[in-house]
Structure 1
């Protein structure tokens, strides 16, 4: 499997807020300090290393989108999930692209 086998989505194709999005879930796999410095409203935060143990917290009936800082960790976790039969897509450019596009972020611990 290569990065080319993993679906991607542009930040400009996503809503600014996932709070009431019943069809999709945005999984943020960054570390706690990164999350607290700025995250997407309504995203689910599970640091990369904790995803395998916390997989039950992810609603797999919804479309899964994964975000990190620039996409590297998102590709790694999507590769892991795809090998387990879980489909999803990587948010291209991660939170750097999100903020670069002028999309809003929340700071602080928020929902996790």
Structure 2
């Protein structure tokens, strides 16, 4: 499984890279702030929402600390997706937040 740390992610965000970030946390966690531009798909809903994702795009998967996103990455990789797990998750992320 590919991984990146928050320093790498912040560098990509600062460079205005076109990123596809999926936040797999629950609704109450997402309400506390998300990485700007991230798409919220709670971990338990990924199988039913696969049609919303494109196997041609790379995705960065994030959760609170990295465990649930690692599970999501394993599942999505098995479905043919190019995914990268954000190590340390939102607990390690100290960049800008977006509230939805």
Aligned partners of 1:45, 1:11: CA distance in 2, in Å? 18
Report the structure, 1 or 2, having the larger helix content.
Answer: 2
- Which sections of structure 2, spanning at least 5 residues, go unmatched? none
| Runs of 4+ with >3 A deviation | none
Q: TM-score, normalised by structure 2?
A: 0.87
RMSD between superposed Cα atoms in Å: 1.6
- Which sections of structure 1, spanning at least 5 residues, go unmatched? 1-5
Check whether the contact 1:29–1:68 (CA below 8 A) recurs between aligned residues.
yes
Alignment correspondent of 1:83: 78
Map 1:93-108 → 2, pairs under 5 A: 93-99=88-94, 103-107=95-99
Map 1:5-44 → 2, pairs under 5 A: 6-14=1-9, 15-16=12-13, 21-22=17-18, 24-44=19-39
Equivalent pairs counted in the alignment come to: 97
Residue 39 of structure 1 aligns to a residue in which SS? coil
2:63 is equivalent to residue 68 of structure 1: yes
Aligned partners of 2:13, 2:96: CA distance in 1, in Å? 6
